[in-house]
Amino acid sequence: MPSSNPFFHRGPIRDRAYFFGREHEVSQALSLLGNGQSISLIGQRRIGKTSLLFHIADPEVFTRHGLRPDKHLFVYVDCGGMGGLDQPGLYRVLLEEIGDALADKGQTPDQLGMLDESRPMTYRGFERALRGLVREGWKPILVLDEFDLMAHNPHLDPDFFSGLRALAAKYSIAYVTASKRPLLDLTYADASTLSSPFFNIFASVRQGLFSEDVARNLLTGLASRGELTFAPSTIDSLLDLAGPHPLFLQIAGFHAFELGQAADSTLSDADLPELRTRFCASVEEHFHYYWRNLTLEEQHTLFTLAVSRNSQPDVIRHLEQECLILRRAEGYDYLSSAFREFVGSQPVSGLLQAGPVAIDENRHRALLYGQSLELTPTQYTLMVHLIKEAGQVITPEELERAVWGEKYIEDPERLKSVIKGLRRVLGDEAERLENVRGVGYMWRC
């Protein structure tokens, strides 16, 4: 009977046996929480923030870091559906989640008077319930996932956040927020919210890409749980395809596992094209999301990464924090080969693009698959004209005028010499510069 696929990519990981890496982040977060310090977990969309939150709230995990299951009460709250709640409604939801967390520990929440429907759910009522909880010996840790969405709630003013800050100062309460951007960089419904002292109590924990060792361990470890072995060459192919990104590794591993089971063996080189096709179809929406949320300058820098990595340090730093590029010994590279191909297929404002070639007229340079082409001024001018008219046949006379202007000379060998040199620079892509016999030349996309 085939084993079930052990790779997760449609939801957070809740079972510690399937959780890989993040030792530093786990240790840092639980060390801070053990000292009563609130933390802000920061990381790109689908980088594994929710999985990490569930992991640090696992009693077996946090006990190893000095916290106590009979004292520390982790209360997970998904803020995704709280964007329109007013403050009384929000207090009610928070108390209900606290009640559920207590029930999971065999406690009866009603004994603390927390869920008394007769009491108006005001800030004072919320504080009174928390005071009763603390008097019972609990140290609540309120985990606010998707905090970005809560920040947009128009009902949450500076006083609301200042009230949360006051509770942390008065009682043994800590907060954990998870968001794509730092708390002070979020856009709040009330702009003056950022003046609240609430934001002064957080230590930041940033969650990024895996190391290569962790990425390899995830692929080999999960495959073995499904009673399948990935060959070293398969692991290399999966890393090239997905990069050290937690979600993309899971997706790549999922499809590799499916193909391996179908073949009743390990993958072969013949399976790799199908693996790539399935993987790219699965990650396309994620790639598009990342691309759409970049500024025009960031898109331009990412597209021209090979030539921009030393001239746009602030943008490069942001792209690295967004987990879209990797720092290498020789500079920066794309997250993965699949992401490199995706970026190369995207239209970028300010660039002339046709197939693998892009022309940056502002900087007077031509790129092939993101790499700078070393062209003479004449070759560059010819390339620009070909790209502008890509797919159209251009007569030799028109190309002559485009390159040399009014200095027209009846010398067909001059143009042929420039085209020959351009083809030499283009290398494997030289065949795109097609000679349409008896008519002219065309750049084929």
Within-domain flag for 316: yes
Q: Is 2 a member of any domain?
A: no
Q: Is residue 14 part of a domain?
A: no
Q: What pLDDT, on the 0 to 100 scale, is given for residue 109?
A: 66
- Same domain for 132 and 154, yes or no, is yes
Number of domains in the chain: 4
Domain ends where: 289, 320, 337?
289
CATH assignment at residue 136 = 3.40.50.300
Q: Which domain holds residue 194?
A: 22-206
CATH number of the domain enclosing 395: 1.10.10.10
Co-location of 180 and 142 in the same domain? yes
Cβ-Cβ contacts under 8 Å for 348 (sequence gap 6 or more):
296, 299, 300, 303, 358
Phi-psi region of 76 (alpha: psi -120 to 50; beta: other; left: phi over 0): beta
pTM of the model: 0.88
Cβ count near 54 (within 10 Å)? 19
Same domain, 199 and 217: no
DSSP 206-228: E--PPPHHHHHHHHHHHHHHTT-
The upper half-sphere exposure of residue 197, i.e. CA atoms within 13 Å in the direction of its Cβ, equals 8
Report the distance separating Cα 383 and Cα 359, nearest Å.
8
Examine the domain organization and report whether 250 and 327 are in the same domain.
Answer: no
Q: Are residues 311 and 258 in the same domain?
A: no
Domain presence at residue 6: no
Per-residue pLDDT of the chain (445 residues; tens, 9 = 90+): 567 899 987 889 999 999 999 999 999 999 999 999 999 999 999 999 999 999 999 999 999 999 999 999 999 999 988 878 999 989 989 999 999 999 998 887 665 555 556 666 889 989 988 998 999 999 999 999 999 988 889 999 999 999 999 999 999 899 999 999 999 999 898 888 988 999 999 999 999 999 999 999 999 999 999 989 899 999 999 999 999 999 999 999 999 999 988 876 677 888 899 999 999 999 999 999 999 999 999 999 999 888 876 678 899 999 999 999 999 887 899 999 999 999 988 999 889 999 889 999 888 999 998 888 999 999 999 999 999 999 999 999 899 888 888 766 667 789 999 999 999 999 999 999 999 998 999 999 8
- Say if strands 202-206 and 72-78 run parallel, antiparallel, or are unpaired: unpaired
Same structural domain, 64 and 193 = yes
Is residue 5, in this structure, part of any structural domain at all? no
